[in-house]
Amino acid sequence: MNTILVVCAVAVTIAFIILVFNAVETLIQVRHTAKAVEYLALNADTKLTALDPMINAAKSVSENVSSGWFRAVQFFYGLVKGR
């Protein structure tokens, strides 16, 4: 009985050491990821302003798609296609 308890205690200790090792590795990776996200957040503002023309063009296209002109074209296309 004593031998079983010792074996169990050793197994639990080894499992705990492995758990701690994995937790430390995970926390190190989380720290690296947090630093990368912080760097990205600090430098994203200057990078995103370069995308403003493309964003405005996409906005213009989406407004035209939802406008009456596009609906009229769809209506006439449906008439032509129905023939």
pLDDT (0 to 100) of residue 83: 58
pLDDT (0 to 100) of residue 20: 97
Burial annotation 53-76 (CB, 10 A radius, 16+ → b, else e): eeeeeeeeeeeeeeeeeeeeeeee
Contact 70, 64 (CB under 8 A): yes
- Least confident range of 9-23, 31-45, 62-76: 62-76
**Tens digit of each residue's pLDDT (9 = 90 or more) over 28-64:** 999 999 999 999 888 887 777 777 888 888 888 777 7
Contact 74, 80 (CB under 8 A): no
Q: Is the pTM of this model over 0.75?
A: no
Q: Tell me how far apart the alpha carbons of residues 22 and 45 are, in angstroms, rounded to a whole number.
A: 36
Tokens (6 digits) for 34? 């947090």
Whether 10 shows a pLDDT value over 90: the answer reads: yes
**Tens digit of each residue's pLDDT (9 = 90 or more) over 54-64:** 888 888 877 77
